[in-house]
Amino acid sequence: MHADMILVNGRFATLDRSNPNPQAVAIKEGKFQAVGDERDIRALTGPDTQVIDLKGRRAIPGLIDSHMHIIRGGLNYNMELRWDGVRSLADAMRMLKQQVDRTPAPQWVRVVGGFTEHQFAEKRLPSIDELNAVAPDTPVFILHLYDRALLNGAALRAVGYTKDTPNPPGGEIQRDVQGNPTGLLIARPNATILYATLAKGPKLPAEYQKNSTRHFMREVNRLGVTGVIDAGGGFQNYPEDYRIIEELHAEGNLTLRIAYNLFTQKPKQELQDFAGWAKQVRPGQGDDLYRHNGAGEMLVYSAADFEDFRVERPDMPPSMEAELEPVVRLLAENRWPWRLHATYNETITRALDVFEKVNRDTPFSGLHWIMDHAETIDERNIDRIAALGGGIAVQHRMAYQGEEFVARYGEKAAEHTPPIRRMLDRGVKVGAGTDATRVASYNPWVSLSWLVTGRTVGGLSLYPANNRLTREDALRLWTEANTWFSTEEGKKGQIKVGQLADLAVLSEDYFSVPETEIPHITAVLTLLGGKPVHGDGDFKSLAPPLPAAMPDWSPVRQFGGYQLRRADVQQLRDGNTALAAACGCAVSCGVHGHAHAGAWASAVPVSDNRSFWGALGCSCWAV
């Protein structure tokens, strides 16, 4: 009965209400063996037991993302320059220029989602002229949310867009007065033009895709994530685009638990797709690391609205119900869980009309079906979902698009977009996720910060107190609550005897750091089934090494993924705050709220002052 691993001297947030604050944890054969007093736990020590001192750090259950695109994202991660977390456009353009200089022809430099112009100090995107200046010959493609893509001249040449290229259905190629493409692609009313254009770029060979997927999994491990529900995605074909993840699973190289959904790729052929897949795979097929989870988030193309709050809400076509009903009937009859992408209440109303009709003939009882996103859902539809036994998966897309929503619909409408607290109060199953990588960032701590503070990444306050969550409630949506969405309740999501030993030890204590610091939390140790899959600092030697990112020009080699605040910048910030307090002559930066110490600034050369504030991401250097 000796433990394989024992964790001591940690602050454990088990999320088990019967045992919330134990002193130590024992792990055996991939599961939590004992959770309790340190003396009792240490009694399980044997000659081969690994005892790890957590040095007083906070430990939580491994985070689970209820809606992410890890499979598609992994195939491309090593090709992408991530602007996630970058705080100024100046820094973003510096990164872009460095990557352009490293990228060989005919490869592209791609920035594919995960950021918003509102996170930048300058509050804007780069211009096409700026892109052409840093990359006259290397194709550059920048995807901003679901609303637009920026292409430099070299990228336009690579994709072949000219004066004679017609606008595709549902999208616009912006043109100058002579009719030539400018490099701006507009999604109206959906993102097909953006994704179809991106798909024209070079792909990584299979060996590199496997390496890329390993790096992406390790990146989310770095943030404390141990589980993901993959919601499928455009240009993610089954089974072709699942072969890499299945090979990694067979080789024992998965560092995440993945439950995957199947996403139809052919408008007007959706029923045919699902009928064929129902003969190939069944929900739950697989194991605790890789398993099938059902259908969606695309069920039929006529029922999918895309959240681009820069433009008016799209009306779904009159054919929606007739096309959706046979697909839902097929899924219900085959006992396939499903999820449906639906941003707007109007779409949700029409979908629920279909669901209720099918339920009368084929009861949904026990089926874990999901409404995805649901930003503007009303109370009546929340109750309808509850009555049908469904759940709602929410993501922090409003943290990236809240400013656009407020500009179009007003501050009052934004206060409960989405109405998370109302969902919970009415007993609906609710889980949290990111919808990464092309819209919001995959960083779970940005989502947790949004749930707790109600603020966008640009600093806009969206939600009153009655639509914000406590830190514990928010964490539950990222752990035990999400197990319902993969039909794995009781198997994981808590630090509890018998559950899978997935756990993250944090860089900072989530429960006590200031709210502004929540997005900067990482994991210093991440365990999957009791085995380290990520380690940093004192725990770095515990995790197995990862092969270098391939190819050798990959942005991951130089920049990594999510751009966390650097330690030296934090030291500068702390030192300046102390100096400002000492001299009593600080003025506030109107962009960031940073304290500008006038006495210090006047005592050093202007160049040093610019360097200091530039490191902090400030654009207002004069004091």
Instruction: Please report the pLDDT score of residue 170 as a whole number.
Output: 79
From the centroid of its chain, how far is CA 100?
26
Sheet holding 140-144: strands in order across?
Answer: 109-112, 140-144, 148-151, 181-187, 171-175
Instruction: Please report the pLDDT score of residue 188 as a whole number.
Output: 84
**Which tens digit of pLDDT belongs to each residue from 51-97?**
999 999 999 999 999 999 999 999 999 999 999 999 999 999 999 99
> In order of start, what are the domains of the chain with their CATH numbers?
5-62+503-559 (2.30.40.10), 68-198 (3.10.310.70), 567-615 (no CATH)
Residue 615: pLDDT above 90? no
Residue 315: pLDDT above 60? yes
Residue 602: pLDDT above 70? no
Instruction: Please report the pLDDT score of residue 399 as a whole number.
Output: 98
**Which tens digit of pLDDT belongs to each residue from 475-522?**
999 999 999 999 999 999 999 999 999 999 999 999 999 999 999 999
Beta-bridged to residue 431, according to DSSP, are 393
Instruction: Please report the pLDDT score of residue 566 as a whole number.
Output: 56
Mean pLDDT, the chain, whole residue set:
92
Average pLDDT over residues 567-586: 46
Share of the chain above pLDDT 90, in %: 87
- For the ranges 19-28, 301-310, 384-393, the lowest mean pLDDT is seen at 301-310
What distances in angstroms separate CA 568 from CA 363, 372, 508, one per listed residue? 58, 40, 17
Residue whose token pair is 């490191």: 615
Residue 144: pLDDT above 80? yes
Reported as half-sphere exposure (CB side, CA atoms, 13 A), residue 435 has a value of: 25
Residue 589: pLDDT above 70? no
Residue 541: pLDDT above 80? yes
Instruction: Please report the pLDDT score of residue 235 as a whole number.
Output: 86
Average pLDDT over residues 154-172: 94
- For the ranges 70-79, 427-436, 528-537, 562-571, the lowest mean pLDDT is seen at 562-571
Average pLDDT over residues 197-205: 96
Residue (of 32, 63, 60) closest to 506 by Cα position: 60
Instruction: Give start and end residues of each alpha helix (H) in 227-266.
Output: 243-250
- For the ranges 230-234, 346-350, 392-396, 478-482, the lowest mean pLDDT is seen at 230-234
SS3 category, 183: strand
d(CA 623, CA 621): 6
**Which tens digit of pLDDT belongs to each residue from 287-298?**
999 999 999 999
Instruction: Compute φ and ψ for 275, nearest 5 degrees.
Output: -65, -40
Count of C-beta atoms within a 10 Å radius of residue 322: 12
d(CA 257, CA 306): 28
Residue 558: pLDDT above 70? yes
What distances in angstroms separate CA 516 from CA 66, 520, 566, one per listed residue? 24, 8, 15
Helices 320-333 & 345-361, crossing angle to 10 degrees?
A: 50
**Which tens digit of pLDDT belongs to each residue from 105-115?**
999 999 999 99
Beta-bridged to residue 61, according to DSSP, are 503
d(CA 404, CA 323): 31
Instruction: Please report the pLDDT score of residue 591 as a whole number.
Output: 33
**Which tens digit of pLDDT belongs to each residue from 240-296?**
999 999 999 999 999 999 999 999 998 999 999 999 999 999 999 999 999 999 999
Burial tier of 91 (Cβ tally within 10 Å: 0-12, 13-18, 19+): middle
- For the ranges 166-175, 404-413, 423-432, the lowest mean pLDDT is seen at 166-175
Identity (one letter) of the amino acid at 454? G
Residue 568: pLDDT above 60? no
Say if strands 24-28 and 31-36 run parallel, antiparallel, or are unpaired: antiparallel
Residue 587: pLDDT above 90? no
Residue 383: pLDDT above 50? yes
